[in-house]
Amino acid sequence: MSNMEKARREGMRWNVINALNKARPYTTSEAFLLDIMRGIYPDTTALELRQQLDYLHDRKLVDVTKQPSGLWFADLTRLGVDIAEYTIDCQAGIARPVKYWEG
């Protein structure tokens, strides 16, 4: 695994959290998230996005609803909101920027 792949993966996780936070209280479709991620990382694949959603779900930061039709929808959990709002520490695996506006 290269440093570029790691940075992209961790950056994408932060951008997913940030997008879901801005969309609250509405549930967000993977299609909408894919459009957002492609604005940041133009070659983002649906599989890559699903891998990051799955990772965030395993960390209890995102609730993922998998429809029988095959579509995925996501919402932040309370822990995900706390990460987005900088009210708790962010562990390794998510490239949350340092809170520079505190002081």
Per-run averaged pLDDT (10 residues), the chain, 103 residues: 91 98 96 97 97 98 96 97 96 91 65
Please give the pLDDT value at position 1: 67
The pLDDT assigned to 99 comes to 83
The pLDDT of residue 84 = 97
Q: How many CA atoms lie within 13 A of 56 on its CB side?
A: 36
Q: CA of 56: how far to CAs of 61, 83, 94, in Å?
A: 5, 11, 9
Can you give the pLDDT at residue 78?
97
Whole-model pTM? 0.93
pLDDT score of 7: 95
Range of the domain at 8: 3-84
Q: Please state the domain count of the chain.
A: 1
Asked whether residue 97 is assigned to any structural domain, the reply reads no
Asked if residue 65 belongs to a domain, the reply is: yes
Contact 55, 13 (CB under 8 A): yes
